[in-house]
Structure 1
């Protein structure tokens, strides 16, 4: 019975992990292949919105 739960847990972790990674990988491939000239549209808009903002938090600069 313990072996069943170990197998069940391993299969569940693999299914959830593979599903999550597939989403990230396919999204990256889709952006690179089909993004065209708008690949960086969202990051550029975010950077444009944040110009002039004060840096808050610790001393570490994450840019």
Structure 2
């Protein structure tokens, strides 16, 4: 019974790990080849929106 649980755990970890890895690789390929000039569209919009905001929190030195 212990061997079955160990095998099931290993297979489950492999499936989750492979799925996560494929997702990251596919996202990288899609961003690199299919995004064109809009690669940083959301980052740039966020930066424009936050322009002029006051910094809050953190430590004061």
Task: Give TM-score, length-normalised by structure 2.
Answer: 0.83
Runs (4 or more) in structure 1 with deviation over 4 Å come to: none
Superposition map of 1:1-63 within 5 A:
1-59=1-59
Give the greater-gyration-radius structure (CA).
2
Structure 1 unmatched runs, 5+:
none
Considering only aligned residues, what root-mean-square deviation do their CA atoms show, in Å? 1.2
Structure 2 unmatched runs, 5+:
none
Aligned length: 59
Task: Give TM-score, length-normalised by structure 1.
Answer: 0.81
